[in-house]
Amino acid sequence: MKTEDHKVQTFENRKEKDLFKNLIFTSKHYKLWVAFLLLVIAIGFFAYYRQLKYGLIVTAMRDYTSWGIYISNFVFFVAISLVGSLFSSILKLNKNEWAKPLTRISEIIAVSAIVCAAAIIIVDMGRPDRFFNVIRYMRIQSPIIWDVIIISTYLVISILLLYLSIIPDLALCRDELNDVPKWKKRLYKITAINWSNDPKQIGLLNRVSKILSIAVLPVAFAIHTVTSWLFATTWRPGWDSTNLGPYFVSGAFMAGAAIIIIAMYFIRKHLKLKAYIREDHFDKMGKLLVLLSLVYLYFNINEYLGPAFKMVGVEGEHITELFAGKYAPMYWLVQIGGLILPIVLLLFKGMRKPLPISIISACVILGAWFKRFLIVIPSLQHPYLPIQDVPEAYRHYNPTWEEWMITMASFAWFLLIITVLIKLIPALPIQKHDHVSKNIPILNLAKNEK
């Protein structure tokens, strides 16, 4: 291989050495991984091409189940994107120093997820060619417009948060990395915007980051609350609920924490960063996940207990369908396997070790995805007026291969953005904390416990 032939650049600083390694080396695994993701995306594009050509008829959506897994997947990605604010705002403002090394991963995931959410909502449109009608004929009364506004705001803030935090590292890449292609050098040079670790620059950056980390919090809450209003502003059973906003937001934080744990596991393993993402991090994240899951459990009980006690009309039909009907297996699997069991298991210290907690987090993520399926689809199948005189296909919803492939492609796209970003910039901050807060050691968590 080419990289083995010529002399590889070495770094004196241990941290630079560890974190730059992934930026310089391109392993076979990495190439295979990217090729696999591109393949999935290509199949997804083919499915989308068919959808553009024939219309939404290639999906399993019909007049009653008029929203399907595109919408539930959209809600899922919006939920995932909230994790950026969890780290760069909530944990940061509460001075949780241990979480700092994870901030960048969370910000990358946030940006990637919100980009995917925006893309998937365009896929769901019957007329994507008329996307700009949304701007041309904007009606501010419509919750969709609120969502468009808040998502674009959050997208901008997330990108800014990520970008600001990587500027010092980009400058470091510009100065230190010699063994990279020309385009990469130029990229670092342009994106580092003359950063020179000047105290004035650092002061400015700190101020702006602080403002942003405060500003992102209400926006993050708003983004998922507004998304919940897309449902709560209708009369559908299961959606017509005042509980929906906090229910969505708490579920989002749970899913976000779980996805960070999975990301930590893979980045730690494949980038060989065991010294930086330590078992203590997994332990702390496990405790955090339990806390967030308990909050979500609380809102879950609120969401289902009232309607299940009253069993009024279509709301009662809907609850019966979830608890004991067609969707019962999925419902109980999601609620027990994706919520209750993780809470119980993560109470044990042994379960908060990297591998077990990552498996548990994967269950939480799977549960979170199917939970959104259960929020979106069964509600549409219980309208006030009975469903009669329709072809059999109108009564059920089993997503077609086109829908599944487009959904898979959205995951691949999500992972590809993350993969490419951590290939271009160090997965953990190298420079920032050294300069910004000299008095706080990087691995302060480890030191504290000594």
Partner 1 sequence: MDDKNSKIDSRRQFIKQISTGSILAATGLGFSSLTSCKEKSQEKTSLLTTDGKLVQVPNSEIESMEHLHHGAPLKEARQGIPNKKFVMVVDLSKCRNARKCVQSCDKHHDLTPERPYIKVLEMKDNEDSSPYWMPKKCFHCDNPPCVKVCPVGATFKRTDGIVLVDNTRCIGCRFCMAACPYSARVFNWGEPPEGKLDIPYSPETSLPSRKGTVAKCDFCPDMLRDDKLPHCVTACPNGVIYFGNEIEDTVTNGEETVRFSTLLRDKAGYRYMEDLGTKPRVYYLPPVDRLFPFEEGKQKPEVS
Pattern 210-239, partner 1, x by CB under 8 A: --------------------xx-xxxx---
| Contact residue for partner 1 among 16, 18, 124, 403 (CB under 8 A) | 124
Q: Find the shortest distance in angstroms from Cβ 382 to partner 1.
A: 11
Distance CA 305, CA 221 (A): 24
Residues 370-389: x/- map of binding to partner 1 (CB under 8 A)?
----------x--xxxxxxx
Which phi and psi (to 5°) does residue 359 adopt? Answer: -65, -45
d(CA 81, CA 107): 9
DSSP state of 66: -
Query: Using the 8-state DSSP alphabet, how is residue 125 labeled?
Result: -
Examine residue 391 and tell whether it contacts partner 1 (CB under 8 A): yes
Check if the beta carbon of residue 106 is closer than 8 Å to that of residue 88.
Answer: yes
How far is 240 from 244, CA to CA, in rounded Å?
8
Rounded (to 5) percent helix, strand, coil in the chain: 75, 0, 25
**Least distance (Å) between residue 41 CB and partner 1:** 23
- Least distance (Å) from partner 1 to the CB of residue 125? 5
Nearer to partner 1, 123 or 289 (CB): 123
- In the set 50, 96, 118, 143, which binds partner 1 (CB under 8 A)? 143
Q: Which is nearer to partner 1, 178 or 388 (CB)?
A: 388
Q: Would you say 63 or 198 has its CB closer to partner 1?
A: 63
> Is there binding between residue 136 and partner 1 (CB under 8 A)?
yes
- Measured CA to CA, the distance from residue 239 to residue 256 in angstroms comes to 22
Binding test (CB under 8 A) with partner 1, winner from 139, 182, 438, 450: 139
450/445 Cα distance (integer angstroms): 9
Kindly tell me which of 392 and 449 has the beta carbon lying closer to partner 1. 392
Residues 6+ apart with CB under 8 A from 383: 64, 236, 314
CA dihedral 212→119→403→370, nearest 10 degrees, is 10
- The CA distance from 258 to 243, in Å, is 23
CB of 436 to partner 1, least distance (A): 42
Q: Which lies closer to partner 1 via its Cβ, residue 55 or residue 203?
A: 55
Closest distance to partner 1 from the beta carbon of 133 (Å): 5
State which of positions 191-210 bind partner 1 (CB under 8 A).
none
Work out whether 242 is an interface residue with partner 1 (CB under 8 A). no
Return the number of the residue (122 or 208) whose C-beta is nearest partner 1.
Answer: 122
Residues 404-423 that bind partner 1 (CB under 8 A): none
Q: Is the Cβ of residue 70 or residue 253 nearer to partner 1 in the bound state?
A: 70
**Residue ranges in 35-94 that form contacts with partner 1 under rule CB under 8 A:** 54-57, 59, 61-64, 66-67
User: Which lies closer to partner 1 via its Cβ, residue 148 or residue 217?
Assistant: 148
Q: State the DSSP H helix or E strand holding residue 423, giving kind and residue range, or none if neither.
A: helix 401-424
Q: Please report how close the Cβ of residue 44 comes to partner 1 at its closest, in angstroms.
A: 19
Q: Does 183 bind partner 1 (CB under 8 A)?
A: no
Among 36, 390, 396, 401, binds partner 1 (CB under 8 A): 390
Within 10 angstroms of residue 441's Cβ, the number of other Cβ atoms is: 14
The sign of the dihedral angle between the CA atoms of 79, 367, 278, 250 is positive
Is residue 37 within 8 Å of residue 415, measured between CB atoms?
Answer: yes
> CA-CA distance, 67 to 375, in Å (whole number)?
11
Distance, CA of 81 to CA of 232 (rounded, Å): 21
Rounded CA Rg of the chain:
23
CA 169 to each of CA 199, 426, 430, 443: distance values in angstroms, whole numbers, following the listed order: 16, 7, 6, 18
Residue 1 CA from chain centroid, whole number: 35
Residues binding partner 1: number (CB under 8 A): 46
| Nearest distance from C-beta of residue 313 to partner 1, angstroms | 10
* Residue 148 interacts with partner 1 (CB under 8 A): yes or no: yes
Nearest to 315 by CA among 235, 244, 245, 387: 235
Q: Which is nearer to partner 1, 380 or 416 (CB)?
A: 380
Closer residue to partner 1 in complex, CB, 153/201: 153
- Name the minimum Å distance from CB 406 to partner 1: 16
Cβ-based nearer residue to partner 1, 30 or 64: 64
Which residues would be at the binding site for partner 1 (CB under 8 A)? 54-57, 59, 61-64, 66-67, 124-127, 130-131, 133-134, 136-139, 141-145, 148, 230-231, 233-236, 380, 383-391, 394
